[in-house]
Each structure stands twice: as structure tokens, then as C-alpha cells.
Structure 1
């Protein structure tokens, strides 16, 4: 991956300058730093507690919780890709990123982990579908080998999908100092910082984003359509309530994930100031990882009990 420069020799490696939030007054940098630091620590602590509780508690060694620890590990990795650099930017004014080692790696990991979350949520929806719609077949369909294969497929697919966009973007032309109007490197901000034609790259990014967002959402909705039809056939109110309760946490996580995507998408597409575009994407990068552990600990009594047992022996 070697990019040419528009105003320098092709042998010079450009560096990227992260502008952060352009109109944010400097005296607010420190408060923003502490807010992001607090959110990041909550993400690390909450998801680490879920990981530890599920691993340590034998009663949680079930498919649903196996996929939950995948989601927790993913949230830790996803935020670690972007938040430490944002913290450095707001605390030290550290705006620069070297071209290949840092910026494109950050872009690749950010989009890979984002795709992984969408696919893991699909796998979790499938798990709930089998548990509710085909309960007698659940032990046969959701074996440890099948669960591992489903999770591995979600991770592998997500790691392969962004590769074409990363390779193509790295071959675009950039000035020796390329200004990125963002707090971190993502595909669209990198494309917009290029001094070559961006039409094809913008279209590619849009198509990949639509596939990664729309197809998993369609599969999740399809799973829940079958679940709803199955639950409505249950005659007892208690049975229906119990069936819905097993899905409530996952539904809230799905709602949070796609709501944050919608915020980021509207911020980019609407005729809004640049700061709104940047803030929308930052919300997307932080909101879901913060809320996921809260949702699963507050609404899932088994996880809550395991965390209490682990922290208060």
C-alpha cells in the first residue's frame, strides 16, 4: 500500500493531521478528555466484568452467553481502536498520525470491528430463534462446535470486508500533510482528505456500508418475525412473558447499535455543520460499547448474579 502525493515526491510518506472537532474551544478540551476517559473506563470495566463472570460461572456456559462474551470482547477492541488516540488528541494536542502504520490500521480495525458487531448480533438473533421456535432441536443445532463456527465466521467475514476499501484508499494521492476533519481515521474522512478524485471511493464506501448495515438488520428482523409468530402461539401469558424476556436484552442492544448508526448516517448526509458530522460518528464509536454491558447486567438476572458472586464472594 503506497500512496502518491499531490505536492511532493512519491517517495515521501504523507502524515495525517487529525483536526478533532474544529469549532470546539480549546478550554473545553480537558473536560471532553475527562468525559471520554470516564466512558472508556466504563466500557473496559463493564465488558471485563461480563467476560470474567461468564468464564467463571459454569451456569453461564451456554450458547447465548458464549456469543455475549464475543460481543464484550469486541466492544473492548472496538473502542480501544479509536478512544486512546482521541484522549491523546484532547489532552496533549497530539494531532498527527503516520501514514501506513497508524492511520490505515486504525481505519481497517475500526470498520472491521464495526462489521463484526453487526454479524455477532445476527448470530445472537439466530440463537434466540432456535431457542424459542425450535426448543427441542436447540441442543442439536447449537453445539459448542456450531457456536464456535458461527462466531468465527462473523469475525472472519468482518475482517475481510473492509480490505478492498482500505487497499484502494491507501493508493489515493495525498498531500505531504493530509488534514482529516475527524477525531480518528475512518474511510470517509480519509477519502475526503485525498487530493485525487474521490467519486469511486465514496461510492464503494457507501455500498459496503449499506450491505453491512442493511443485510444484518434484515436477518435480525427476519429472526424476530419468526420469534414473534412463535411467541403469539403460546397460550399462557406467563409463557409469552418468559419468551419475550429472553430476547429483551438483545433487542435493546440491536436498537442501540442501529440507532447510533442512524445518528452517524444522518450526521453525514444531512446538510449540517462539519462538527455535527464528526460528533455523530464519535457517538457511534462510543454509545453502543457503553450501553451494552449496562443492558446485559441490569436486565439479565443470571449475568447480574454471576457478577455479584465474582465481585462479592
Structure 2
């Protein structure tokens, strides 16, 4: 559906995976399963942490925030994607598209900030264990978590504001699985200098700063672990940050593949697959990684399930 006039676009058409209709049933099962498992897994992790006094620590407080973030993050695009597959109708109103763009960037930015604070928490736990409770006190944790959410919502304002004022006179067809900034910029006409500079500026400041701070924390952690004499001590120190390191490594690996590469490096369909991995699978992996790699969470989960079983008897 083309719109080549200068009139303001009132809706967009999300292409999604409409070029492979033979896979619609498989795609429906995939997106619905991933979305439901993400909701259940992260809700369960929050419930386990909140119901276990032994997990009332800064690390698990931040993990609760991460699980909540993954729930709302995946809810920005998953229901819409499922709706498009079921109805074969990718029409999205202009306001709804801008809202989706805003929240996707906001929650994505929040994740950068939150993972950075979580890496600092692991740095203090491993490198400054005697001062851990003093540095990571309740006030610091609450302010830190609140600032990540506030920072994410503020970071999304410039891009969304400029995007909503772009002229989409060449087309209203978005060749993506949701209202992504790159896809919207591609179909806009006129001067794109401002939006591209904002995207580049926020990418450098937000992504690279968060990445470098996280790398710095883990360099200090590794250097500290190397200095530990006993093998048991090394293992104990590393195990405290293994889950977070796994999530962070996968997260930034996909971020760099998606956003820190030449546009011509991969095809549109390959880009869609990377977005699926980034926006849908990482939120699903969060509770899995923290559950299976963390003995405290597994123990708390067993206790909670046992208590629920006894209550039913």
C-alpha cells in the first residue's frame, strides 16, 4: 500500500514474515510459546525472589527489576506480532506505531543501564566483599534501579519525537516485524540528517558507554579472581557472576550484530531473525540462566514448590 502524496501518514503496514505464508502456523506456535514461556518464567523468578528472605540481597533486587523489564519489553511487540500472524493484517495506526517505538527504545535503553549496574554490583561483591553491604545498601539499590527506568524513558524521547515528525511520503510499508527505528527511517523522505545523528549519538553514548563500564567491571573481577590462591575460592568468586556474564555476553553480541554493522552486511530477512533473537529469546533466557546456574534460586524454588504442595494437602 503506497502513499506517495505529501499528506500525513495515518497508518503503517508491518510486513513481518508475510513473504513466507507457508510458515505462518510454525511462526504462530513459536511466537506464542516464546511469549508465554517468557511471562511465566520471569513472573516465577520474581515470585521466588519475593517469597524467599534469603534472596533479599542487592543482586536479587536488581534481578527482579530485570525480570520485570523483560516482561514489559517482550510485551511491547509480541502480542502485536501474534495478532499480525493470526489475522494476516499488518495495519498499525501512526500513534500506535510511535508508542511501540517509544517503549521498545525505552525498555531497551533501561536494559543497558540495568545490566551495567548489575555488573557494578558483581564488581563490588567480588573485588570489595568487605564493603559490599556498605556500598550496595538499600538506598543505593533503590536509587540505582529507579534511575535505570527513568534514564530509559528519557533516552527514548529524542528519537521518538523526531521520528513522529518525519515525512513518510514515499511509503507506509515497514519491512520489519514491528515499528523499528531503522525501518521507519528507511521509508521516510526529506532530510534524515537529524534522526541519523541522534541514532548515532545515542548509540555511541548509550551502547558504548554501558559496554565499556561493563567490560571495566569484569576486567577488575577477572584480575581479582586470578589473584585468589585456592581453586575453590576462584570457583566461588566466579560463580557469583557467571549468570550475569552469560546474559551480558549474549546481549551485547546481538546488539553489535544488529546495530554496529554496515547496513549492507546482512539481508533484511537475516536482520529480522537477529531481532527475534534479541527482542524475544533474551527475555526468555534470563530466568532460565539465572535458575539453572544459580543454586540459591534453585533451592528457593524447591522450597516454594514444597510449601505450595503442603498448602494444597
**Shorter-chain-normalised TM-score: which range?**
over 0.9
| Distance of 1:297 and 1:272 partners within structure 2 | 34
1:155-166 residue pairs with structure 2 within 5 A?
Answer: 155-166=149-160
TM-score, normalised relative to structure 2: 0.92
2:51 counterpart of 1:56:
yes
Show the counterpart of 1:77. Answer: 72
| Distance of 2:227 and 2:171 partners within structure 1 | 62
User: 1:219-276 CA distances to partner (integer Å, 9 max, x unpaired)?
Assistant: 0110111112222222221111100110101100101111221332377634433212
Whether contact under 8 Å (1:15, 1:177) holds in the other structure is no
| Distance of 1:92 and 1:305 partners within structure 2 | 43
Whether contact under 8 Å (1:6, 1:173) holds in the other structure is no
The total of aligned residue pairs comes to 305
Show the counterpart of 2:194. Answer: 200
Show the counterpart of 1:254. Answer: 248
User: 1:36-62 CA distances to partner (integer Å, 9 max, x unpaired)?
Assistant: 111111111110110000001110000
2:5 counterpart of 1:7:
yes
Whether contact under 8 Å (1:120, 1:154) holds in the other structure is yes
Q: Post-superposition shift, 1:13? A: 5.0
| Distance of 1:268 and 1:276 partners within structure 2 | 13
1:18-29 residue pairs with structure 2 within 5 A?
Answer: 18-24=14-20, 26-29=21-24
TM-score, normalised relative to structure 1: 0.92
| Distance of 1:72 and 1:63 partners within structure 2 | 14
Structure 1 residue corresponding to 2:111, chosen from 91, 108, 117: 117
Structure 1 residue runs without a partner (length 5+): none
| Distance of 2:260 and 2:224 partners within structure 1 | 35
Structure 2 residue runs without a partner (length 5+): 308-313
Show the counterpart of 2:293. Answer: 299
Q: Deviating runs (4+, > 6 A) in structure 1? A: none
| Distance of 1:28 and 1:6 partners within structure 2 | 32
| Distance of 1:30 and 1:299 partners within structure 2 | 33
Worse-matched range after superposition: 283-292 or 303-312: 303-312
1:1-313 residue pairs with structure 2 within 5 A?
Answer: 7-9=5-7, 12=8, 14-24=10-20, 26-100=21-95, 102-175=96-169, 178-265=172-259, 269-313=263-307
| Distance of 1:139 and 1:284 partners within structure 2 | 34
| Distance of 1:195 and 1:301 partners within structure 2 | 54
Q: Post-superposition shift, 1:22? A: 4.9
Whether contact under 8 Å (2:10, 2:93) holds in the other structure is yes
Q: Post-superposition shift, 1:67? A: 0.4
